Amino acid sequence: MTRRRSFPAATLAGLLTLVLSGLLLPSASVAGAATVGTHNRAVPLTELTVVSEQVASGLRRPIAITGLPDGRMLIAEKDGTVRAYHPGTGLAAEPVLDLTARIDTSDNERGLLGITPAPNFARTGILYVAYTSLPAGALTLARVPLGAPERLQVLLTQEHAEYGNHNGGQVAFGRDGYLYWSTGDGGHADDPFKAGQNLGTLLGKIVRIDVNRACGAKPYCVPSDNPFVRAPGARPEIWLYGLRNPWKFSVDPVDGSLWIGDVGQGLVEEVNHIRPWQGGANLGWSCKEGTPVFDPQQCRGGRYTDPVFEYEHFMTEGCSVIGGVVYRGSQTPEARGTYVASDYCSTLVYAVRPQPEGGYESATIGNFPTQPTAIGTDVRGELYVLSDLPGWLNRVRFERVQPSGGAMASR
């Protein structure tokens, strides 16, 4: 998750750069929650704070979390196992899925990285997973029935042998029914393969495919409205490009937009907000790192889509943005529509919200427990956060507070 920097060994051992917890398509309960209590108007972000409650421990480097229709949460552990948690019964002792025989964990940032249920999971039990595969760390997208690892089917791969970092790995279904998958730029630092601006590779991209059909020899189809379907030399699976390591993104279940946390090189960490009609957007890397220019030689003209929120990385406690989710639960109606993200090192919680008149409001609204790696929601849209080396699962809620002056600059 991070670039190569000088940190104490204990910190380096914990750093992950894994790249939008997959979210379910909006279930009836979440979609309904978006309309319940509409008389409760959103309050300024400076009047919100987050409170975390530990509900499970003993996880082994938990890296991704997603909710199931039956109320359970599935938690991916970096070594390739998937654990189940239910609020009523706690964390199950045994994994519900074991993919360790397929997973390359040779580097701190390799492993099982993403997990999301199929929209028809209640009927099929199918999960979609992203991981770095043996023997050489290839980025791999696959589907597998829960509890049946022998029936795993690989859908799409991207070679990634030279460096162990910047693997991306988030998977999520959009409201359009297509599967989205994020990939890093190939690792090391400074975009060594100049992949971010290269449409001929899947590195440094967000991919969008139709997994409900097969086309020719491929176990998936490319949607006809993908932006580069007819572009010579471009991979037609690409939806967005110009990313460094977007190892956590999410889909807003109400409007279908993507919120992407893209890990910076060393100056800034950034969050991008991409609407459904913005397919083909160039998010800038490695011409730009956030809004500043990073490598002028990679700036080839055209239009770049700037982040809607960024914060300083250089000479701060921050090291790696942890892209989060938009809150659509019902427990705190005043916070509905607020995007929540964090940072692996600082643990600060960043809240970002589009403003009706344009632009974005943002504020720092507290801290998560140590080493947050993923922020997800249960079937009701309520928030949970994972902590890496402690192996914790925490339930998160909002509380109202008096304004503290913690507002950050709006864009």
Residue 197 tokens, joined:
């601006």
Cβ atoms of 199 and 228 within 8 Å: the answer is yes
What is the C-alpha separation between 232 and 400, in angstroms, rounded? Answer: 53
Find the range with the poorest average confidence among 15-19, 110-114, 299-303, 340-344.
15-19
Beta-ladder partners of 262: 270
Residue with more model confidence, 396 or 405: 396
Q: What is the pLDDT of residue 23?
A: 36
* pLDDT reading at 357 higher than 50: yes
* 59 — pLDDT class (breaks 50, 70, 90): very high
369-387 pLDDT, tens per residue? 999 999 999 999 999 999 9
Look at residues 357, 343, 276, 283 and name the one whose alpha carbon lies nearest to residue 312. 343
* pLDDT reading at 2 higher than 50: no
Neighbouring C-alpha atoms within 13 Å toward the C-beta of 13: 5
Q: Which amino acid is at 272?
A: N
Residue 392 tokens, joined:
């914790």
* pLDDT reading at 37 higher than 90: no
* 31 — pLDDT class (breaks 50, 70, 90): very low
Which 3-state string (H, E, C) describes the chain? CCCCCCCCHHHHHHCCCCCCCCCCCCCHHHHHHCCCCCCCCCCCHHHEEEEEEEEECCCCCEEEEEECCCCCEEEEECCCEEEEEECCCEECCCCCEECHHHECCCCCCCCEEEEEECCCHHHHCEEEEEEEECCCCEEEEEEEECCCHHHCEEEEEECCCCCCCCCCCCEEECCCCCEEEECCCCCCCCCCCCCCCCCCCCCCEEEEEECCCCECCECCECCCCCCCCCCCCCCCCEEEECCCCCCEEEECCCCCCEEEEECCCCCEEEEEEECHHHCCCECCCCCECCCCECCHHHCCCCCCCCCCEEEECCCCCCCCEEEEEECCCCCCHHHCCCEEEEECCCCEEEEEEECCCCCEEEEEEEECCCCEEEEEECCCCCEEEEECCCCEEEEEEEEECCCCCCEECCC
* pLDDT reading at 410 higher than 70: no
Average pLDDT over residues 67-92: 98
* pLDDT reading at 9 higher than 80: no
Order of strands across the sheet that contains 392-400: 48-56, 392-400, 383-387, 372-377
What is the C-alpha separation between 324 and 379, in angstroms, rounded? Answer: 16
60-72 pLDDT, tens per residue? 999 999 999 999 9
Q: What is the pLDDT of residue 15?
A: 40
Evaluated on CA atoms 243, 142, 74, 335, the torsion sign reads positive
* pLDDT reading at 167 higher than 90: yes
Strands 392-400 and 97-98: unpaired
Radius of gyration of the chain (CA): 19
Cβ atoms of 352 and 362 within 8 Å: the answer is yes
What is the C-alpha separation between 153 and 312, in angstroms, rounded? Answer: 41
* pLDDT reading at 86 higher than 70: yes
Q: Which residues of 43-70 are buried (b: 16+ CB within 10 A; e: fewer)?
A: bebbbbbbebeeebeebebbbbbbbbbe
What is the C-alpha separation between 201 and 160, in angstroms, rounded? Answer: 11
Mean of the per-residue pLDDT values for the chain? 91
204-241 pLDDT, tens per residue? 999 999 999 999 999 999 999 999 999 999 999 999 99
Confidence (pTM): 0.90
Residue 31 tokens, joined:
């979609």
* pLDDT reading at 142 higher than 90: yes
Q: What is the pLDDT of residue 33?
A: 42
290-307 pLDDT, tens per residue? 999 999 999 988 899 999
Q: What is the pLDDT of residue 405?
A: 53
- The set of residues, in sequence order, having a beta carbon less than 8 Å from that of 39 and lying 6+ positions away, is none
Cβ atoms of 112 and 104 within 8 Å: the answer is no
Residue with more model confidence, 40 or 211: 211
All domains in the chain, ordered by first residue: 9-408 (2.120.10.30)
Residue with more model confidence, 38 or 236: 236
- 306 CA to centre of own chain: 18
Cβ atoms of 82 and 95 within 8 Å: the answer is yes
User: How many residues are listed for the chain in this entry?
Assistant: 411
Cβ atoms of 298 and 194 within 8 Å: the answer is yes
247-294 pLDDT, tens per residue? 999 999 999 999 999 999 999 999 999 999 999 999 999 999 999 999
Q: Which amino acid is at 229?
A: V
Cβ atoms of 171 and 115 within 8 Å: the answer is yes
